[in-house]
Structure 1
Amino acid sequence: MMEQTQKSRWRMLWLGMAVASAVLVSGCANQSASGSVYTYGQAQNEQIVRLGTVQSVRYVTIQSEQPSGFGGVSGAAVGGVAGSTIGGGRGNILATMGGAILGGLAGNAIENKTQKRQGIEITVQMDNGETRAIAQEADVMFTAGQRVRVLSGNGPTRVTPL
């Protein structure tokens, strides 16, 4: 009986690690806010191109609109499984519950951190006199006075260097 319980705990531990790995991999598949990344549906579609001059650039944080909750759930599962390997009787139950709570908190914190990206807000004086501000990932840097293209009409508006 004791050997069966130990095997069951190891299976649960491996299952928890597999779930956590899947969540970590899926967390890397966030949508991009880069001016250089197009979705498959946006490719080969016409865009409106307007020219302008960068007036200012400031750093912003771009955060995912809605956390998935997978971080907290998978963290709780892994923490609960890890906690269940500690002690016996009531101590085991408390360790399992504590592991699940702490794992859930840690998983949620990790998910929130991975959902944030460094961005920039680019204020552009368009050649027609209008002023536009566009936020996108900080993968291409711009400076005041730089000439740029503002692309729109096919999904998000993007700023690209001339």
Structure 2
Amino acid sequence: MRKMMILAASMAVVSTLVTGCASSLTGDSYSRDDARQVQTVRLGTIVALRPVKIEGTKTAIGSVAGGAVGGIAGSSVGGGKGSAVAAVIGAVAGGLLGSAAEEGMTRTQGVEITIREDDGSLRAYVQAVEPNQIFRVDQRVRIMSVNGASRVAPL
């Protein structure tokens, strides 16, 4: 019973850690370092749009947390040397599953926006899809760039 409670608590911690590490890639999100920084603003017209998937994060958190949960679960199987072997197998399997879960939980839908900028240059930008924001071809937009990151917003 005690091991089941530990397993349940570990799963809750894994879920919190994985979702807490997801950073927003939408056009209206700024890092703390970007706040209050001067931005370069360019204007342009959308010439093409394409849906894309933005891969999720791949940190050690998912692997470590999954390994811990798997090791705890595996150690409850059998006794003696069998329990130790099951714990190792559980930890390895849990690590793999935890890593895959982290990537899957933080994966997001994105949009590739190709823009003919007013200076004549053609550039593509990728950002996460924002709720209630729809881009369309021939729409005028502004491109804000700061610290090497750019975002597109309607004009």
- Would the TM-score normalized by the shorter structure come out above 0.5? yes
The 1-side partners of 2:17 and 2:65 are apart by: 12
Could you give the per-residue CA deviations for residues 13-53 of structure 1, whole angstroms, max 9, x where no partner exists? 62x65454334323223222111011223223322222111
TM-score (norm. length: structure 2): 0.83
Is 2:37 the partner of 1:45? yes
Q: Give 1:91's match in structure 2, choosing from 78, 82, 102.
A: 82
* AA matched with 1:49: V
* 1:82 corresponds to: 73
Q: CA RMSD in A?
A: 2.4
Q: State the 1:115 CA deviation.
A: 3.5
Within-5 A mapping of 1:14-93: 14=6, 17-28=8-19, 29-64=21-56, 67-93=58-84
Highest CA radius of gyration, 1 or 2? Answer: 1
Could you give the per-residue CA deviations for residues 81-135 of structure 1, whole angstroms, max 9, x where no partner exists? 1121122233323322332222122112101212322111100011221111111
Structure 1 residues not aligned, in runs of 5+: 1-5
Q: Which aligned segments of 4 or more residues in structure 1 are displaced greater than 6 angstroms? A: none
The 2-side partners of 1:27 and 1:40 are apart by: 21
Is 2:99 the partner of 1:108? yes
The 2-side partners of 1:49 and 1:55 are apart by: 19
Answer whether contact 2:115 2:123 (CA < 8 A) is retained: yes
Answer whether contact 1:67 1:115 (CA < 8 A) is retained: no
* AA matched with 1:52: G
TM-score (norm. length: structure 1): 0.80
Q: State the 1:60 CA deviation.
A: 1.7
